[in-house]
Chains A and B, each alone.
Chain A
Amino acid sequence: MGVTDGSDAPAGTVGEYVYVMNTIYRRPLGTPDLWTPFTTITHSTGPNAGGGPDPNTAADWRQLGVLNLAAGDWLVGATADWWMDVPGIDIREMSVQLNEQYPNWFNASNSPDAVYWSSGVEVPPSSPLGSWLGLQLGPIRISRAAPTQVFLNIQVITPAGVTTGGAQYIIWARRMR
């Protein structure tokens, strides 16, 4: 029979559920100060995306959260939403990734076994995505003999060249066996 008392699986047992998330959600437009303590992304000029820098550098990536995983066989997923602080500024590109190798964002050759999972969307200036976008990642399998960490990172690019806003996220994992 299955568990029906609402209890969580003890640490180290099948079904164990761990997560990290932020609970900040609401904020009115035009009040970026409410978000400042959490996440502010400001990117520089560069060759890509209407003035954004090379996405293969870490310059524009920001860490949203970190989930510590004990050794084991985990199923891991994440959700991240992003809001623009400035009305009328549209998201042109947004990417999120789960990565074990912070801050070697894209350099998987450093550790071929590392988990790297990403989701993103990019549109031309004629079809901006608007001021809010949510993306999901996974679930993916992470099976490790030693404790590891999973980083949730985000990159947001706008035609305006300055991207400030806020995000909510959750990274979750369930021990599968």
Chain B
Amino acid sequence: MGVTDGSNAPPGAVGEVLYARADDYNIPADNVHHVVGGLNLPAGDWAVNADVGYWLNGNLALLHVWIYLGRPQSIDYGAFGPTIDISTYGWEPMPGTSTAMSYGSVSMSTIQINTAVPTQAVLAVQLGYDTVGATGGGGYVIRARRMR
């Protein structure tokens, strides 16, 4: 039988859940990747995902959200090795064509992070603008579950 008392799995055990969240991150809408949060992961085999909300005080012209490991984002799956994949989501209208969608949210699909040493799952957001000087922000939650 499975656990039915509502308790959490203890650290180091299968089923352990870690999470981090913020209700209000703020970043400039400058077409540059900004780290908005992260999750420190002990060694282990983790399933990681995130939900990210965003807003912009102007017309949103680009959105990109990543989960990656604690290293510079290269926009290249290959750079992350064969067993560590990043989760990515976004869209990029042509400049000047965005007419709405100044807020919203995305769910980042689950990825595997299997590591022998502690690492960090990093959450990054990139906002673009068609209003010069726009700023943005939002909230997020990033979570991990030890799978085995």
Contact = CB atoms under 8 A, between A and B. Distances in A.
Contacts of A122: none
A136 B114 contact: no
A133 interface: yes
Interface residues of A, number: 44
A6 B46 CA distance: 10
Contact of B12 (A2, A136, A137): A2
A40 interface: no
Contact of A139 (B45, B110, B147): B110
Interface in B106-141: 107-112, 114-117
B13 A1 contact: yes
Nearest to B111: A172
Contact of A4 (B44, B64, B94, B100): B44
Contacts of A1: 12-13
A134 interface: yes
Contact of A3 (B44, B91, B94): B44
A90 B78 contact: no
A130 interface: yes
Given A128-B94, A134-B88, A4 B42 contact: yes
B77 A21 contact: yes
Interface of A: 1-9, 14-15, 17, 19, 21-23, 25-26, 75, 77-79, 81, 87-88, 90, 126-139, 168, 170, 172, 174
25 contacts: A1-B13, A2-B13, A2-B16, A2-B44, A2-B45, A3-B44, A5-B116, A6-B116, A6-B117, A7-B116, A15-B45, A21-B77, A26-B76, A75-B110, A88-B94, A90-B94, A90-B97, A127-B97, A130-B92, A130-B98, A134-B64, A136-B107, A136-B109, A137-B109, A170-B77
